[in-house]
């Protein structure tokens, strides 16, 4: 995926349900999982699934029922999102981003030490 189209909070919720599945899920399974936390009707869920397909985040496979398969893993999505954020707001500089987090007190010195250690290990 070259350019990530933004996805809404509701679309991201659908993606988390699909990523949390151990294998591709059909629309019935997705709707059951959505209903555990949301009062969405059937058409809302289908609209969100179709938007995610149109945006390139999902593909569907016909296995008698349609099964929805993520195009990106959760980790690939998070990496692409982080890269997009760095480019859009910090001129591509991870250092500027971390500096901004530190200045806003959203990151502790201990967390920075953990990050540095992780980078040294190549994680």
Kindly state the tokens that stand for 119. 């980078």
Please say if the pLDDT value at position 122 is more than 80: no
DSSP string of 42-70? HHHHHHHHHHHHHTTSEEEEESSSEEEEE
pLDDT the model gives residue 58: 97
17-72 confidence digits (pLDDT tens): 999 998 999 999 999 999 888 888 889 999 999 999 999 999 999 999 999 999 99
pLDDT the model gives residue 3: 67
pLDDT the model gives residue 123: 62
Check residue 107 and give left, alpha or beta (phi > 0: left; psi -120 to 50: alpha).
beta
Higher local confidence (pLDDT), 108 or 9: 9
78-95 confidence digits (pLDDT tens): 988 888 888 888 888 878
Provide mean pLDDT across the span 4-18: 93
pLDDT the model gives residue 103: 82
């Amino acid at each position: 995926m070259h350019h990530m189209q933004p996805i809404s909070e509701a679309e991201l919720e659908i993606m988390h349900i699909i990523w949390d599945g151990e294998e591709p899920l059909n629309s019935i399974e997705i709707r059951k999982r959505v209903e555990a936390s949301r009062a969405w009707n059937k058409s809302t869920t289908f609209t969100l699934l179709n938007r995610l397909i149109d945006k390139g985040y999902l593909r569907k496979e016909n296995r008698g029922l349609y099964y929805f398969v993520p195009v990106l893993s959760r980790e690939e999505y998070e990496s692409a999102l982080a890269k997009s954020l760095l480019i859009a707001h910090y001129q591509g500089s991870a250092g500027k981003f971390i500096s901004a987090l530190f200045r806003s007190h959203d990151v502790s010195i201990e967390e920075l030490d953990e990050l540095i250690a992780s980078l040294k290990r190549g994680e």
